[in-house]
């Protein structure tokens, strides 16, 4: 069995400074005592993080994400470090990006932790919450998580199936509507739809395309004819303008000379020449030098005389140019119109579907199409006839186009709907097959989980009763049943038998203390199921409300149970635990007791061992100059405890008072006969008797010095000034001698009479005689 050596906390919650908890060897129980807020739960949290990756003390506190609160407020999350060293292995945990990272990565210590709030969740909440409280201890949360995802899948798949069924219905309704619209009555909807879907939409597409193309070409022809008509009109008008210009020119020339036109042109050329050569030496034509200098001015004068002719000539030239341009435009317009007409006729002759109205049926078009297929012999009138026929045909085609578009749309709709119907039917079939398989799987999961958990609960129910009986013997409440509700998921009933009432929830009749005990018993029974020798048992402040004498029994039970576990860590703020330890009432040899001091931000968690009272007395006496009053005070308290034990053990007649009995009340009732018989045998760990201590002489000597305690160690008393210190020290040494004789640091007080011959302690290291006071 691996044993823990140390636990180190760095920057975790209250550990503002590094805190190390060293586990003592051969002490399977470590009790950590401290007031609230001293850091007890932080120690448990450290083990929880290492083992389970969670910080349990922050759970159920309404925090959505707790990792941000794990580190000490003066440190960063990255500073958090937890280290648990054992005889076999060392584990560490850190927080990296909000997640716990442990090392070694594939190994974690096994830690079972019970916290106080879990007891109430387990016993005093509704059945659903009870199961939730129990779940971490059964350790099948991963299976529960997988079951949750399966349940979600089942729900979503059922919805998918519903949607698929609804869609199939919608598809059928839509197809039925189309079926009715189509007026088909001789076949079922699906047969009709399948037949419809066989139809080729391309056929409709071609007719639609031909009609739309024909209509476009017909519009084009109209437009071209309009252009041609405009060009022809303009050309005719320009012809008239040109004729007028020609007449005006002829008339002006006639007025000047018969050859005026040529002369004017000659003079214009000469004038241009003399613009460059303004001072000629000779006539450029006849090379005569006579009048050569005056030639430019002479030509200027002659030209002015020809201006009317020149104006008329310019006008005629402009008119001629415009006529030629319009003539060209007219030819182009004619060519375009012919081409448009040819395109229109070509459709009619080559691509025209047979089911469309034919151009041949039209009187205007018959001749044109039949006689002039290539259009080479067409004149404008022919083109107009073609356009008129085309326009008429377009009118006839309009309803045909609408019918075909509607038909095309319907065909595509049927095709699409049928495709959707087939897809949805297939999906419906697949989901109809999947849903029952998912249901069956979910059923198996729930059934097996319930059987598994029931088996665990049945196995522990009797054990819970046994453990409970150890703490509350003879109370008749040991018939505990833990039952899962078969009709509800994750619902647990905890029932108990009470006198006169069977199967009652414990919360109905049990006190808080009893419920605490029961919760601890359930937890312990669960924890010991699963190889407890590998488990660190942690009880975080769970037995605060347990009262006397049950606290002794529950401590006894915990001692007994702790032997089964690798280690047992108990935290408590319950003061009697501390006092019992100090007086050696606990089995101190098996138990390590650590007291946590008051937490402070600067010091963090502070822990120290707790001294036994007798050890404290020994310590006080061991210094060179003991403080007598303090020594006597401690010795007095120890003596009171020792005498209380002896008078109770031997039924001595102690006088009754309202106040606690004093030494003066406790010592005299131990009569001389008993004193003579009182002796202690001391045994070593091997069970060998080492020596025997008679108690009578010690008690007799103490009786002589008992007043010393009252004078020197109880109150301020001037009489103490008169007494020598050695009297006080002798008193204290006698008390220590008596304490060492009766109490063993490791094994406590001789409180068991099971031997039938003497009283002894848990380790049988002391035997106190006699068993009973002599008569």
Partner 1 sequence: MTSKRETPAEALARRIGDRMLQEELLHPERVDNFLSKFVLGKLKEGDWRIEIETSVKPDKPRKK
- Report, in Å, the least distance between residue 179 CB and partner 1: 33
Instruction: Please report whether residue 5 would count as binding partner 1 according to CB under 8 A.
Output: no
Nearer residue to partner 1 within complex by CB, 439 or 684: 439
* Tokens (6 digits) for 661: 């009995």
Q: Which is nearer to partner 1, 431 or 520 (CB)?
A: 431
CB nearer to partner 1: give 218 or 562.
Answer: 562
Query: Closest Cα partner for 442 from 81, 764, 59, 153?
Result: 153
The DSSP output letter for 713 is: I
In the bound state with partner 1, the residue whose beta carbon lies nearer, of 387 and 527, is: 527
Cα–Cα distances in angstroms (integers) from residue 248 to residues 198, 240, 318, 326, 738, in the given order: 79, 12, 13, 22, 165
275 or 433: whose CB is closer to partner 1? 433
Q: Which stretch binds partner 1 (CB under 8 A): 430-438, 505-513, 612-620, 698-706?
A: 430-438
Nearest distance from C-beta of residue 450 to partner 1, angstroms:
11
Minimum CB distance to partner 1, residue 532 (Å): 11
Between 102 and 572, CB nearer to partner 1: 102
Q: Which of 150, 283, 606, 771 binds partner 1 (CB under 8 A)?
A: 150
Is the distance from CB of 9 to CB of 18 less than 8 angstroms? yes
Nearer CB in complex with partner 1: 438/708: 438
Peptide bond before residue 677 is cis, with ω within 30 degrees of 0: no
Sign, CA dihedral 329-330-334-335, equals: negative
- Please tell me whether the peptide bond between 104 and the residue prior to it is cis, using omega within 30 degrees of 0: yes
Contacting residue, 54, 85, 129, 153, with partner 1 by CB under 8 A: 153
Q: Report how far Cα 161 is from the mean position of its chain's Cα atoms.
A: 28
Joined together, the tokens standing for residue 583 give 């007086």
73, 156, 304, 432: which one binds partner 1 (CB under 8 A): 156
Contact by Cβ (8 Å): 98, 19: no
Residue 656 DSSP one-character state: P
Q: Which of residues 453-472 bind partner 1 (CB under 8 A)?
A: 456
Residue of the chain from 466, 483, 512, 530 that contacts partner 1 (CB under 8 A) = 530
> Binding marks (x or -) toward partner 1, 473..512, rule CB under 8 A?
----------------------------------------
Question: What is the separation of C-alpha 53 from the centre of its chain, rounded to a whole number of angstroms?
Answer: 16
For 716-762, the three-class secondary structure string (H helix, E strand, C coil) is: CCHHHHHCCHHHHHHHHHHHHHHHHHHCECCCECCCECCCCCCEECC
The footprint of partner 1 on residues 227-266 (CB under 8 A) is none
**Interaction with partner 1 in 356-395: which residues (CB under 8 A)?**
none
In terms of CB distance, is 82 or 245 closer to partner 1? 82
Interface residue with partner 1, options 146, 181, 288, 395 (CB under 8 A): 146
Rule CB under 8 A: which of 561-580 touch partner 1? 566
Q: Does 429 bind partner 1 (CB under 8 A)?
A: no
Q: What is the DSSP letter of 604?
A: B
Q: Does position 452 bind partner 1 by CB under 8 A?
A: yes
Tokens of 614: 């007798």
In the complex with partner 1, the residue whose CB is nearer, 84 or 270, is 84
Q: Contact, 340 vs 220, CB < 8 A?
A: yes
Q: Which stretch binds partner 1 (CB under 8 A): 138-146, 346-354, 461-469, 730-738?
A: 138-146
Residues 54, 59, 129, 139: which binds partner 1 (CB under 8 A)? 139
Asked if 762 and 747 touch (Cβ cutoff 8 Å), the reply is yes
Residues in region 532-551 near partner 1 by CB under 8 A: 534-536
Q: Are 204 and 411 in contact (CB under 8 A)?
A: yes
Q: What is the phi/psi pair of residue 175, to 5°?
A: -65, -40
All residues at 6 or more sequence positions from 9 whose CB lies less than 8 Å from its CB, including other chains: 15, 18, 19, 20, 21, 42, 43, 46, 81, 82, 605
Cα 435 from Cα 163, distance rounded (Å): 13
CA distance 682 to 179: 109
Q: Shortest Cβ distance from residue 152 to partner 1 (Å)?
A: 6
Q: Which is nearer to partner 1, 138 or 708 (CB)?
A: 138
Q: From the list 76, 141, 205, 324, which residue makes contact with partner 1 (rule: CB under 8 A)?
A: 141
Q: Note whether 157 binds partner 1 by CB under 8 A.
A: yes
If the CB atoms of residues 21 and 641 are measured against partner 1, the closer one turns out to be: 21
Establish if 438 lies at the interface with partner 1 (CB under 8 A). Answer: yes
Terminal Cα distance for the chain, rounded: 51
Rule CB under 8 A: choose which of 159, 289, 422, 437 binds partner 1: 437
161 near partner 1, judged by CB under 8 A? no
Smallest gap from residue 46 Cβ to partner 1 (A): 16
List the one residue from 433, 622, 659, 718 that touches partner 1 (CB under 8 A).
433
Strands of the 759-760 sheet, one edge to the other:
689-694, 679-683, 766-769, 759-760
User: Should residue 318 be labelled a site residue for partner 1 when binding is judged by CB under 8 A?
Assistant: no
**Residue 278, Cα to own-chain centre: how many angstroms?**
105
Q: Return the range that interacts with partner 1 (CB under 8 A); candidates 56-64, 113-121, 151-159, 680-688.
A: 151-159
Closer of 278 and 433 to partner 1 (Cβ): 433
Q: How far is CA 327 from CA 210, 234, 247, 656, 722, in A?
A: 35, 9, 21, 150, 158
Q: Is 441 in the site for partner 1 (CB under 8 A)?
A: yes
C-alpha 444 chain-centroid distance = 28
Q: For residue 104, give both structure tokens.
A: 């070694």
For partner 1, the binding residue among 36, 64, 149, 381 (CB under 8 A) is: 149
Q: Report, in Å, the least distance between residue 27 CB and partner 1.
A: 17
Question: Parallel, antiparallel, or unpaired for β 567-572 and 535-540?
Answer: parallel
> Six-digit token pair at 68?
């941000």
Binder among 62, 142, 275, 279 for partner 1 (CB under 8 A): 142
Q: DSSP string spanning 613-638?
A: HHHHHHHHHHSSS--HHHHHHHHHHH
- Give the nearer residue to partner 1 in terms of CB position, either 47 or 586: 47
Q: Which of residues 76-115 bind partner 1 (CB under 8 A)?
A: 86, 88-89, 107-110
Q: How far is the CB of 115 from partner 1 (least distance, A)?
A: 21
Report angle CA 163, 166, 167 to the nearest 5 degrees: 85
- List the structure tokens of 360: 């041949």
Q: Is 145 in the site for partner 1 (CB under 8 A)?
A: yes
- # of chain residues touching partner 1 (CB under 8 A): 41
* Residues of span 194-223 touching partner 1 by CB under 8 A: none
In the complex, which residues of this chain contact partner 1 (CB under 8 A)? Answer: 2, 86, 88-89, 107-110, 138-146, 149-150, 152-153, 156-157, 433-434, 437-438, 440-441, 444-445, 448-449, 452, 456, 530-531, 534-536, 566
């Amino acid at each position: 069995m691996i044993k823990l050596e140390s636990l180190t906390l760095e920057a975790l919650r209250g550990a503002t400074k590094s805190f190390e908890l060293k586990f003592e060897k051969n002490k399977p129980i470590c009790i950590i005592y401290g007031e609230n807020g001293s850091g007890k739960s932080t120690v448990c949290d450290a083990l929880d993080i290492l083992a389970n990756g969670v910080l349990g003390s922050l759970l159920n506190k309404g925090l959505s994400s707790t990792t941000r609160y794990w580190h000490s407020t003066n440190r960063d999350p990255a500073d958090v470090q937890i280290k648990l060293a054992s005889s076999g292995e060392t584990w560490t945990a850190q927080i990296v990006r909000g997640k716990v990272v442990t090392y070694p990565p594939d190994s974690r210590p096994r830690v079972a932790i019970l916290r106080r709030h879990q007891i109430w969740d387990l016993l005093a909440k509704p059945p659903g919450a009870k199961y939730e409280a129990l779940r971490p201890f059964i350790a099948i949360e991963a299976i529960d998580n997988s079951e949750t995802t399966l349940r979600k899948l089942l729900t979503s798949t059922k919805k998918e199936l519903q949607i698929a069924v609804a869609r199939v219905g919608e598809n059928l309704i839509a197809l039925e509507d189309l079926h009715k619209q189509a007026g088909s009555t001789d076949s079922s909807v699906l047969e009709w739809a399948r037949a419809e879907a066989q139809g080729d939409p391309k056929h409709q597409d071609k007719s639609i395309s031909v009609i739309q193309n024909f209509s476009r070409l017909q519009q084009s022809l109209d437009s071209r004819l309009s252009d041609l008509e405009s060009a022809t009109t303009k050309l005719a008008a320009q012809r008239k303008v040109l004729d007028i210009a020609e007449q005006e020119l002829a008339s002006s020339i006639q007025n000047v000379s018969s050859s005026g036109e040529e002369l004017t042109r000659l003079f214009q050329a000469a004038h241009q020449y003399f613009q460059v050569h303004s001072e000629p030496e000779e006539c450029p034509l006849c090379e005569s030098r006579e009048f050569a200098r005056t030639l430019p001015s002479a030509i200027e004068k002659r030209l002015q005389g020809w201006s009317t002719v020149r104006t008329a000539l310019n006008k005629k030239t402009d008119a001629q140019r415009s006529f030629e341009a319009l003539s060209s435009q007219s030819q182009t317009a004619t060519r375009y119109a012919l081409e448009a007409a040819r395109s229109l006729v070509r459709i009619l002759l080559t691509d025209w579907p047979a089911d469309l109205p034919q151009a041949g049926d039209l009187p205007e078009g018959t001749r044109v199409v039949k006689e002039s297929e290539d259009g080479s012999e067409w004149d404008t009138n022919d083109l107009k006839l073609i356009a008129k026929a085309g326009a008429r045909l377009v009118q006839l085609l309009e309803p045909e186009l609408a019918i075909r578009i509607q038909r095309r749309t319907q065909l595509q709709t049927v095709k699409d709907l049928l495709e959707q119907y087939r897809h949805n039917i297939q999906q419906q079939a697949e989901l109809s097959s999947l849903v029952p398989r998912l249901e069956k799987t979910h059923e198996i999961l729930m059934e097996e989980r319930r059987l598994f958990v029931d088996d665990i609960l049945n196995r522990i129910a009797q054990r819970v009763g046994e453990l409970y009986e150890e703490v509350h013997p003879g109370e008749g409440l040991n018939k505990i049943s833990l039952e899962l509700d078969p009709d509800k998921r994750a619902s647990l009933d905890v029932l108990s038998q009470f006198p006169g009432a069977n199967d009652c929830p414990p919360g109905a009749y049990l006190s808080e203390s009893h419920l605490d005990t029961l919760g601890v018993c359930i937890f312990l029974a669960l924890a010991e199921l699963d190889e407890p020798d590998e488990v660190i048992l942690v009880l975080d402040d769970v037995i605060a409300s347990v009262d006397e004498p049950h606290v002794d029994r529950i401590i006894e039970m915990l001692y007994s149970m702790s032997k089964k576990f690798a280690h047992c860590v108990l935290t408590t703020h319950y003061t009697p635990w501390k006092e019992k330890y100090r007086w050696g009432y606990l089995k101190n040899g098996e138990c390590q007791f650590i007291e946590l001091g008051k937490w402070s931000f600067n010091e963090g968690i502070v822990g120290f061992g707790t001294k036994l009272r007798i050890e404290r007395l020994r310590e006080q006496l061991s210094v060179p100059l003991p403080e007598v009053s303090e020594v006597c005070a401690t010795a007095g308290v120890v003596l009171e405890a020792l005498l209380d034990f002896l008078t109770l053990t031997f039924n001595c007649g102690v006088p009754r008072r309202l106040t606690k009995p004093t030494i003066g009340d406790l010592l005299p009732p131990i009569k001389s006969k008993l004193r003579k018989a009182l002796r202690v045998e001391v045994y070593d760990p091997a069970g060998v008797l080492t020596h025997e201590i008679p108690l009578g002489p010690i008690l007799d000597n103490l009786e002589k010095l008992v007043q010393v305690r009252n004078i020197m160690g109880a109150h301020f008393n001037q009489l103490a000034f008169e007494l020598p210190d050695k009297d006080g020290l002798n008193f204290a040494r006698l008390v220590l001698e008596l304490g060492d004789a009766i109490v063993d640091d490791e094994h406590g007080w001789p409180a068991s009479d099971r031997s039938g011959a003497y009283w002894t302690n848990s380790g049988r290291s002391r035997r106190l005689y006699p068993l009973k006071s002599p008569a």
